[in-house]
Structure formats: C-alpha cells, structure tokens
Chains A and B, each alone.
With several copies, the nearest count.
Chain A
Amino acid sequence: MKVYSDAAEALQSVKSNQTIMVGGFGLVGAPLTLIDELTRKEIDGLTVISNNLGEKGKGLGILVNQKKIKKGIGSYFTSNRDVGDAYQKGELELELLPQGTLAESMRAGGAGLGGYYTKTGVGTDLAKGKEERVIDGITYVFEPAIKADVALIRAWKADTLGNLVYYKTAQNFNPLMATAADVVIAEVDEIVEAGELSPEEIVTPHLFVDGIIRAEKILTKDGVVSNEQK
C-alpha cells in the first residue's frame, strides 16, 4: 500500500490494452482525478468496466472521444450519446449487462468464484446465447465472474494502511471493484492515521487496496471543481 503524491504517479503502471474498472454511478462516486489523468496518459485499447461511460465530454466520456477505449462493459450508456455514436461507427465495442448482474459479477470475481446463476434477464435479448439452468423449478442464466487488471475507485476517507470508508450513495460499485482487480487505486477526500476509522465502519479492509491519492477533483452542486483544500 502506497500513498501517492499525485495521479500521474499512481497510474504509472497502467498500460494500453488493460482492463480497467472505474467506480461511480454517473459522476457520483467516480474517481474524477484518476479519470482526468487517464485522459492525459498516452494509452489506448482499454476495456473499461463501469456502470456508465461518463457523460458527454465528461469523465470517461472524454476517453471515449479520445478513442482510448476499445470496449465498454456496463449497464447504462444512454446518458452519453457519444457512446452510441462511436458504437454505430464500429469504433467501440459494448457489452450491456443488467446493473445487478454487473455488480454481482464483480463481487464473484473478487471472491474467487467462477460464476453464478441469476434470474435476471432470463428470456430477454440480453440473455441470448447465455446458458440456462433450471434450479428448483426456477430458470436462471449463467453469468461468469468479472475481474480486471486495475480498479480506479473513489472513497471518502482512507487511513494510512489503506482501509476505506465511503460517503452515502457515492459508495455504489466502488467496494466491489476494490475486490476484483490486481491493482486497486483509491482516490479519497481525506487520509487519516491508522486507528482513526472505527473497525466497525471500515467498508473496504486494507488488504484490497494498493494505492491511495488525495482527490484533486470534487463533485459539487455546481459541477466538478478542483479541491481547494489541497
């Protein structure tokens, strides 16, 4: 576990053609500082696993426009029209999963499971080609676990060991991604001493976390601003 001084240092090991999980539900709980660094980094061919691919020209949306993303795996791309356009032009592959399946597959990946059977999607276009299985009279589809090379996540506070706590609905996919990638970098509002977070409130124990940085971009009522407290 390392406390990095900036995003560039934290993402030094990120390479082209890697699979990267990026936390957040829209911009809420998204690692905006780390995403910003991805937009500056010379990489391409990325597979990005994230609920959305940002908004038009914002967050991961910039990476879409930079054509750094080869494939997106998520549940809701509608909020960024550029994603649809790139898909139509054949510049971007997309894999659409029900939101619960996306979350559960990450959890399975992090927990060392190979896959699982879910009711969600059975009989719909999203289950086409997926294996069906009847268990106790109910039809399920098989979903494989998902893992990534890197997870870029957003938390509220970290302690110096790497334990993380999250803020309200900015939690969403972040704790799941923290379990499911080889390298996990968390961007946080505040870094406190070990022992300052109560053992009962820690959501992501430090064994999942490889690096932390202090957030330089913060979501406010008025949009994304720079962290002035820095």
Chain B
Amino acid sequence: MNKNDIQELIAKRAAQELKGRCVVNLGIGIPTLVAKFINDDNVFFHTENGLLGVSDVSEEDIDPNLVNAGKLPVGEAVGASYFNSADSFGMIRGAHVDVAILGVLQADQTGLIANWAVPGKNIMGVGGAMDLLVGAKKVIVTTTHTSKDGKSKILKECTYPITSTRSVDMIITELAVFEVMEGQLHCIELMPGVSMDEVREKTEADFISDVTVAGGNML
C-alpha cells in the first residue's frame, strides 16, 4: 500500500466508529480524512478554532476566512454555528464533544499518548491537543503503526512528553485496532490481510490479543 492508501484505510476504519448522533473533533493529518467516509447527517464536525458544522468545500468555493484547526479551507454545513475560542474550548473541556480523533507521535500500552513535543527539539506547539484529551468523551487515535524509520509507535512507555494523564479509548493503525480497557491495550481487530504475528512483531507495547472480529486471515 502507498502512503495515501494506508491513510485512507485507517480513516475509513475510524469512520465506522461514528454511529448515531455525535459531535466529532478531527485532528490534523489522518483524522481530517475521516470526514470523507462519513455520509450521515447525524455526525457533526467541530473544529476548535470556532465552528460546529464543518463540511467539505469545493475548490471554487474556498473562503480564506473559513478554515479548520489545521488551517485548511472547509465549508459550512446546514445548521452550522460560529463561536469564539473560549466558547469553543468550553465545549471541549466541558465534555460536550463526543469524540476526538487525533494523530500521535507515540502511544503506550496503557493508552497514554504523546503528540505535542519531541525532546531535544524545541517545544513549540501544543494547540488544542491537551484540551481535547481531557475533554472529549471518547478519544480515538489514528496513526500509522510505525514511524518512517520502521519503529513501533505503540510503545511500552512513551519516551516523548505525554499530552495528558488520560488514556485514549481506541488506537487504529493500518495493521490493527486496539481498545484500551482498564489501563491495558487489547488488540480487538486485525486489518484485512494482516496476521497477529505481524502485529506482534511491529508493536513494542504489550497487548492482549482479543480479536473477535476477523478483519484478516487469522484470529
């Protein structure tokens, strides 16, 4: 699979988690792609720079003053509303956002994540990451399973500074889907064509194999 296919595979799987009426905040990168796979009027996208009701925008309708948190142009859905940054983060911290889908630099086997700083480099940006972690009712991580140099991004323990003491609920990669239950990582699903051996090999973290849904060729 090329990079694009991998990202779309992950985003598509994450989209399946959005069922029933829900308000969803999408992070930068793979999370942004999730919207492409949602065709449900009951899923509402929130962006922390001040809009509930994010939709796609066509090239000719781009408005430079209508962007998402990644500063990419977006559209305005029917029933959308705008608000200032304090009100927007009030929604997030106050648990009025149902799901946040985020990218990570690292995740660990207790569900803690690191996605805002790299030691040795300057700590230069956190944006809304910490607010989303403490506030969203459910947090789903979408990430490639390994970094560019092939190292596992799902570790025994994060080596980068953590984003929150709150564990995420789910991690979706191009290889598998993990759930965090009682502080432990459970692999609940393999992606099509992926074996548990491959997941074990490419994952530093300890996890419990709990595959009840056969997405691939073995349990």
Contact = CB atoms under 8 A, between A and B. Distances in A.
Interface of A: 1, 25-26, 28-29, 51, 75-79, 83-84, 87-88, 94, 96-104, 106-107, 109-113, 118-126, 159, 161, 163, 166-176, 179-180, 194-195, 197, 199-200, 202-203, 205-208, 219-221
B84 A119 contact: no
A105 B135 CA distance: 17
Contact of B66 (A77, A101, A106, A168): A168
A176 B83 contact: no
A84 B51 CA distance: 30
Contacts of B44: 206-207
Across the A-B interface, give the 5 residue pairs with the lowest CB-CB distance, nearest first. Answer: A112-B93, A100-B89, A111-B90, A78-B125, A123-B165
Interface of B: 21, 23, 44, 46-53, 62-67, 71, 76, 78-86, 88-97, 117, 121-131, 134-135, 161-165
A123 B49 contact: no
B80 A207 contact: no
A127 to B, nearest CB: 9
Contact of A207 (B62, B64, B89, B97): B97
Given A84-B124, A124-B163, A174-B84, 17 more contacts: A87-B122, A99-B89, A100-B86, A100-B130, A109-B94, A118-B93, A120-B93, A124-B162, A124-B165, A126-B126, A169-B50, A169-B82, A170-B65, A176-B85, A179-B90, A202-B81, A207-B91
A173 B85 CA distance: 5
A75 B127 contact: yes
Contacts, number: 203
Contact of B46 (A26, A175, A200, A207): A207
Contact of B130 (A120, A202, A206, A208): A120
Given A87-B122, A112-B90, A195-B78, A103 B85 contact: yes
A172 B49 contact: yes
Contact of A99 (B48, B78, B82): B48
A99 B85 contact: yes
B21 to A, nearest CB: 7
Contacts of B130: 98, 100, 120-121, 124, 126
27 contacts: A26-B67, A28-B64, A28-B65, A76-B124, A78-B124, A84-B121, A99-B131, A100-B48, A100-B93, A100-B128, A100-B135, A103-B85, A103-B86, A103-B88, A111-B86, A121-B134, A121-B164, A122-B164, A171-B84, A176-B86, A179-B90, A179-B91, A205-B83, A207-B91, A208-B96, A219-B64, A221-B62
B164 A96 contact: no
A195 B122 CA distance: 45
Contact of A77 (B85, B124, B165): B124
Nearest to B73: A221
A124 B64 contact: no
A77 B53 CA distance: 27
Given A96-B126, A118-B93, A120-B131, A199 B80 contact: yes
Given A28-B67, A205-B52, A207-B44, A194 B78 contact: yes
Contacts of B165: 122-124
Contacts of B125: 75-79, 96
Given A112-B90, A168-B51, A199 B85 contact: no
A220 B129 CA distance: 28
A64 to B, nearest CB: 13
A186 B51 CA distance: 22
